[in-house]
Amino acid sequence: MQLLKFVPIKLTLFLVLGIIIGSYINVSFILSSCFVFTLLIILGFLYESKKPQHKYIFGYSSILLTTCIGVFTTALSKPKNHINHYSNYTSENPQELHLKITEVLKPNRYSNRYITELIYVEEKASSGEVLLSVSKDSINNYLHIDDEIIVYEKLSNIGKPLNPHEFNYKTYLNELGIEKQLYLKPHSFIPIQNERKTIYGIAASWRNHIIENLRGENFGSDELGIIQALLLGERNDIAKETYNNYKNAGAIHILAVSGLHIGVLLLILQFLLQPITRLAYGRKIKLILIVILLWAFAFLAGLSASIVRAVTMFSFLAYADYLNRPANKFNILALSMFFILLVKPTYLFQVGFQMSYLAVFAILWVYPILQKLWFPKNYILNKLWQLLSVSIAAQLGVLPISVFYFHQFPGLFFISNLLIVPCLGFILAGGIIVILLSLLNILPNFIAYGYNELIKFMNTIIEWIAQQEAFIFKNISFDSIQLILAYIIIVSLILIFIKATFKRIVVLLSTIILFQIWIIYNTYQVKNNESVTILHQSKNTALLYQNGTTATIFSNNPDRLQNIITNYDIGERIVSINTDSLQNSYKLHHRNLFIVDSLAILNPNTKNTEYLLLTQSPNINLERWIDSLQPNFVIADGSNYKSDIQLWRKTCIKKKLPFHYTGEKGALYLNSLKD
């Protein structure tokens, strides 16, 4: 099937191109809107003229218009292009800020976290989202969606990654339109009585009410956490060990209410509402009921971004099924993506959005091919092959991007999908019944017990699969070039399977060769890399020395560095990692590094010191040490008090010496400094 011949698919691809251009190239809002307006006039003129010779001009103009619309919507979504955005009113000093809670995030160890809308700055109407963190106390008073508070504080910037290859949370939030954050203590804000409820607030209230009712039933803590995740999109109460089991078993998608759940729910509704098709206009009534019930479930699950995306996508697919034309499923899938990105272009860069559409597209394309490959006559064998085909198709769609983002691949994913997905329909249907009976306070104990045992049995299966560590491939290095080449290889293989041609075989073999060349090139680059990095970690000092594919960590507390080491291992393609205790001085080629710790012992034999590293807040007169050692560079890591950092910075300014604090500028690559 030549998908690129379909107009909706072509338009969606060019909209995506426009969003990418608008995201990485700073195109002004006015310029992009002028282009869109001009092209609309040209298209209107060409359409009215209806001259045959204008056919190709109309087509190319439509493509250009769609690309410009992508640029325009991206520019429109950027906070700086909003006149009343809070960045136009806020300053470096504390101000009166009026905030409205729009989303409750998963809390971390120290604070509860929220996304808020800044609606007033010093009583001036404003807009824009802010990340809010409220430190936990013994009372743990939580804020809820639609709650409003007033604070007198100043906004702070979101920190960038301070160590190599760490997840860039700042970039992630910026793509969501969040540029500032706010830290508060539990009693440092004034709550406001708010009577204005949004649909999101009402949905969240319903979800919280359902959760409270379920907590009153006889469910185990682990089972209740899974029930909340499966049916309500609430994953905050899942135990860390249980979550890791689902992740390692390749079943993490079961815990996120998104495409899989809505797809299963759609199949259930189509089966239950099938008798309606016998009535006059029955198929149309069935479609309307399905769409209403899908959105009702989305409301029940709190209308989170992932759920809204999934329900929008499957509402379009339900319409495609109503039309009963196989080719339309691809068109409708593309249209759903088109309209979602038109409203929220930043969704394009979210992992959930990418994986949902890749999985559904792969199922629509690959599943029929696998079914033609083998059609067993045995009913049970046939159903198992169907489930396995769906699982294989979905995994082909998301495998490269999954490895790219998460750097691991669960080898037994097909087992977990074969065992769990067939039961997911019963679990979802049973869960909805449990919720409804619980809300009516008529949930029988035997139903609650049976459902609890079903969830427990599913957890046991997942735990067993997760324990087969030999089939879990972790810490896989996989960059963006490999991602693109891997998708070309997969698509080429599928096309060859459909119909083998010389051109397709050449493309496949050429891409495989390019993939291997890229791996060889990266291996060569790593083997010729030698560097020393001063890492950043609070209350700890660590140096990382890389020589080819071997890395050595110098630290007196290396156990705390596990996450930093793992990220570096993946990013730099390290084969072996060693640890060693920290010394007071190191010789780096022709440069000396001297470390001053809390003991503040000066080695009289230290000469030609290039770098002076201050750790553990030593009680020294830095000016005298500088005069004695004559360093060319002064460094302070995360083990020092901030008050000392300020004093040392002033001393270095006075001495006209470069000063690097890892808590602000991040880890320091010593080999990156010029001689």
User: Mind listing the pLDDT tens digit for each residue in 161-217?
Assistant: 999 999 888 888 888 888 899 998 888 888 887 767 888 888 888 888 888 888 888
pLDDT at position 490 is 93
User: pLDDT at position 521, please?
Assistant: 92
| CB neighbour list of residue 554: distance below 8 Å, 6 or more residues apart | 542, 543, 544, 545, 579, 580, 581, 582, 583, 586
Cα–Cα distance measured from residue 349 to residue 484, given in angstroms and rounded to the nearest whole number:
15
Q: What's the first-to-final CA gap in the chain, in angstroms?
A: 59
Q: Please indicate whether residue 354 or residue 304 has the higher confidence score (pLDDT).
A: 354
Of 280, 144, 138, 250, nearest to 205 (Cα)?
Answer: 144
Give residue 647's pLDDT band: very low, low, confident or very high (50, 70, 90): very high
Q: What is the 3-state secondary structure (H, E, C) of 462-527?
A: HHHHHCCHHHEECCCCCCHHHHHHHHHHHHHHHHHHHCCCHHHHHHHHHHHHHHHHHHHHHHHHHH
CATH number of 86-196: 2.40.50
CA distance 474 to 531: 25
Q: Give the pLDDT confidence score for residue 141 in this predicted structure.
A: 66
| pLDDT digit string, tens, across residues 224-264 | 888 888 888 777 778 888 888 888 887 777 777 767 778 87
Q: Who wins on pLDDT, 14 or 387?
A: 14
Do residues 400 and 489 make contact, with C-beta atoms less than 8 angstroms apart?
Answer: no
H or E, element range at 295: helix 282-300
Question: What would the pLDDT profile of 376-405 be if each residue is shown by its tens digit?
Answer: 888 888 877 877 788 788 888 888 998 898
Q: Is 101's pLDDT higher than 60?
A: yes
Which tokens belong to 410?
């669960």
Write out pLDDT tens, residues 327-381.
577 888 888 889 889 988 988 888 888 888 888 888 888 888 888 888 888 888 8
Q: What are phi and psi of 183, to 5 degrees?
A: -105, 130
Residue 470 has pLDDT above 80, yes or no: no
Residues with Cβ within 8 Å of 664's Cβ and at least 6 positions away in sequence, in order, are: none
User: Would you kindly state where each structural domain of the chain is located, as residue ranges?
Assistant: 3-77, 86-196, 480-527, 530-672
Q: Can you tell me the mean pLDDT for 481-490?
A: 94
CA angle centred on 596, ends 595 and 599, rounded to 5°: 135
Q: Give the type of residue at 299.
A: F
**CA–CA distance, 237 with 240 (Å, rounded to integer):** 9
Residue 423 has pLDDT above 60, yes or no: yes
Which letter does DSSP use for residue 159 in this model?
P
Cβ atoms within 10 Å, residue 152: 11
What is the per-residue pLDDT for 289? 92
Average pLDDT, the chain: 84
State which of 298-302, 402-406, 586-590 shows the largest mean pLDDT. 402-406
Q: Poorest-confidence range of 73-77, 326-330, 444-448, 633-637?
A: 326-330
Fold classified for 530-672: Metallo-beta-lactamase; Chain A (3.60.15)
For residue 673, what pLDDT is reported? 43
Residue predicted with more confidence, 649 or 1:
649
Tokens of 31: 């310029």
With residue 185 as reference, give the H or E element that holds it.
none
Provide the 10 A C-beta neighbour count for residue 195: 5
Instruction: Mean pLDDT check: name the lowest of 64-73, 293-302, 395-404, 503-512.
Output: 293-302
Share of the chain above pLDDT 90, in %: 21
What per-residue confidence (pLDDT) applies to 189?
Answer: 87
pLDDT tier at 543, thresholds 50, 70, 90: very high
Span 52-61, average pLDDT = 73
pLDDT of residue 52: 66
Residues in the chain: 675
Bridge partners of residue 117, in order along the sequence:
100, 129
**Predicted pLDDT of residue 292:** 92
pLDDT score for 520: 93
Pairwise pLDDT comparison (186 vs 454), residue with the higher score: 454
Alpha-carbon distance 478 to 405, whole Å?
8
Based on the number of CB atoms within 10 Å of its own CB, is 276 exposed (0-12), middle (13-18) or buried (19 or more)?
A: middle
Model pTM score: 0.83
Instruction: Find out whether 637 and 132 touch, Cβ atoms under 8 Å.
Output: no
Residue 255: which residues within 8 A CB-CB, separation 6 or more? 226, 229, 230, 235, 238, 243, 246
- Per-residue confidence band for 661, with pLDDT thresholds at 50, 70 and 90: very high
The whole-angstrom separation of Cα 21 and Cα 348 is 12
* Nearest partner of 303 among 203, 225, 229, 209, judged by Cα: 203
